[in-house]
């Protein structure tokens, strides 16, 4: 289901996020470090060329999304459906608010009343989270924001080039090592520390999301492309996208497979505050994941690129 976006005047459109410029380039797209899972489709590494583009320096925040909602009256799919997925340690509500939990991932709760305004459930709000990334937004919700703002979701090729910050082949936006600058102790990314999913030692300072300008930006000026929250991309998901692209040589501006229906599964990039090596090391430049376009949860947001 694609929500209908209310008609608003052009003067109401306002996208105030600082822009980072990504220069035209050819880069090696994919996992050249052997970190990914075969089912994530991060191989083969293949050359991709892109024209220069501008991208949001940060994820879209709660404050940014609130301006969109105030201008349009838009209701997210989580609000329409009446529930969304909340990590169990972030849940704020009563037992009656829990609608269920998937047997394969019991750390996720289906929570009545969870949405972008209530990220932990009906007992939470975003009053003090204006500079945190908006979450509980589906791909369809992100696309609706883009239509209002006259922006686009990035292709996953654009997303990966922007996240790499010019460090071709690097594991992370700052290089190959997870620790602090120049090998010093410390954290440069918001992910899980401890024993997943029961104990987070919060060594990086955050149980769930962090403000979008936490840690340091990469060399292009982008903040927290890995960790913190997953980010929706424009592309339709397929495991064999890279294998098909490699057969074409250097691919210019790849946009992924063609969507055959409105329900086509979409790409997510960057990992989140729940990533941990024991089950998910997707807080990397090359990491890929996916979900249905109407899905929402407490660790997925988005950023946008300028339309041409």
Domains along the sequence of the chain with CATH: 17-75+131-306 (3.90.1580.10)
Q: What is the pLDDT of residue 247?
A: 86
pLDDT mean over 269-294:
95
Q: What is the pLDDT of residue 8?
A: 42
Question: Using 50, 70 and 90 to split pLDDT, how confident is the model at 6?
Answer: very low
pLDDT mean over 58-81:
98
Give the tens place of pLDDT for each residue, 205-245: 999 999 999 999 999 999 999 999 999 999 999 999 999 98
Q: What is the pLDDT of residue 204?
A: 94
pLDDT mean over 80-96:
98
Q: What is the pLDDT of residue 207?
A: 97
Q: What is the pLDDT of residue 308?
A: 76
Q: What is the pLDDT of residue 307?
A: 86
pLDDT mean over 283-295:
98
Q: Note whether 237 and 290 are within 8 A (CB).
A: yes
Q: What is the pLDDT of residue 162?
A: 98
Q: What is the pLDDT of residue 102?
A: 94
Q: What is the pLDDT of residue 185?
A: 62
State the Cα–Cα distance between residues 87 and 97, nearest whole angstrom: 13
Question: Using 50, 70 and 90 to split pLDDT, how confident is the model at 182?
Answer: low
Those residues whose C-beta lies under 8 Å from the C-beta of residue 18, and which sit 6 or more positions away, are 56, 57, 58, 221
Using the predicted structure, report yes or no on whether residue 184 has a pLDDT greater than 80: no
Of all residues in the chain, the percent with pLDDT exceeding 90 is 86
From residue 167, how far is each of 112, 163, 213 by CA, in Å?
Answer: 43, 9, 21
Question: Using 50, 70 and 90 to split pLDDT, how confident is the model at 10?
Answer: very low
Identify the residue whose tokens are 């060329």: 49
Q: What is the pLDDT of residue 239?
A: 95
Give the tens place of pLDDT for each residue, 97-147: 999 999 999 999 999 999 999 999 999 999 999 999 999 999 999 999 999
Nearest CA-CA partner of 146 in 210, 92, 89, 68: 68
Q: What is the pLDDT of residue 279?
A: 84
**Global pTM value:** 0.94
Q: What is the pLDDT of residue 9?
A: 39
Q: What is the DSSP string of 269-299?
A: ES--TT-BTTTB---STT-EEEE-TT--BTT
Q: Six-digit token pair at 232?
A: 């929706």
Question: Using 50, 70 and 90 to split pLDDT, how confident is the model at 4?
Answer: very low
Whole-number mean pLDDT of the chain?
93
Of all residues in the chain, the percent with pLDDT exceeding 70 is 94
Those residues whose C-beta lies under 8 Å from the C-beta of residue 232, and which sit 6 or more positions away, are 137, 139, 142, 153, 266, 267, 268, 300, 301, 302
Identify the residue whose tokens are 């293949």: 46
Q: For the chain, give the number of residues.
A: 308
Identify the residue whose tokens are 């024209």: 51
């Amino acid at each position: 289901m694609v929500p209908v976006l209310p008609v608003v005047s052009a003067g109401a459109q306002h996208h105030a996020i600082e822009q980072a410029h990504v220069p035209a380039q050819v880069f090696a797209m994919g996992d050249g470090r052997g970190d990914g899972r075969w089912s994530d489709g991060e191989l083969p590494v293949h050359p991709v060329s892109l024209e220069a583009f501008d991208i949001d320096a940060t994820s879209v925040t709660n404050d940014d999304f609130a301006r969109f909602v105030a201008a349009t009256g838009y209701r997210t799919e989580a609000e329409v459906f009446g529930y969304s997925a909340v990590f169990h340690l972030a849940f704020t509500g009563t037992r009656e608010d829990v609608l269920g939990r998937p047997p394969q991932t019991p750390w996720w709760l289906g929570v009545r009343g969870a949405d972008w305004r209530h990220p932990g459930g009906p007992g939470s709000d975003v009053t003090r989270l204006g500079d945190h990334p908006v979450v509980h937004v589906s791909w369809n919700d992100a696309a609706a924001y883009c239509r209002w703002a006259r922006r686009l979701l990035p292709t996953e090729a654009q997303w990966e080039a922007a996240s790499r910050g010019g460090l071709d082949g690097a594991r992370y936006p700052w290089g190959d090592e997870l620790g602090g600058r120049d090998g010093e102790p410390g954290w440069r990314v918001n992910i899980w520390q401890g024993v997943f999913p029961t104990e987070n030692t919060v060594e990086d300072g955050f149980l769930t999301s962090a403000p979008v300008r936490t840690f340091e930006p990469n060399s292009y000026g982008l903040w927290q492309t890995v960790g913190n929250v997953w980010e929706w991309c424009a592309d339709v998901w397929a495991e064999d996208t890279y294998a098909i692209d490699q057969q074409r040589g250097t691919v210019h501006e790849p946009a992924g497979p063609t969507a055959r229906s409105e329900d086509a599964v979409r790409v997510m990039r960057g990992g989140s505050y729940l990533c941990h090596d024991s089950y998910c090391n997707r807080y990397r430049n090359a990491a890929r994941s996916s979900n249905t376009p109407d899905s929402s949860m407490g660790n997925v947001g988005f950023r946008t690129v300028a339309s041409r």
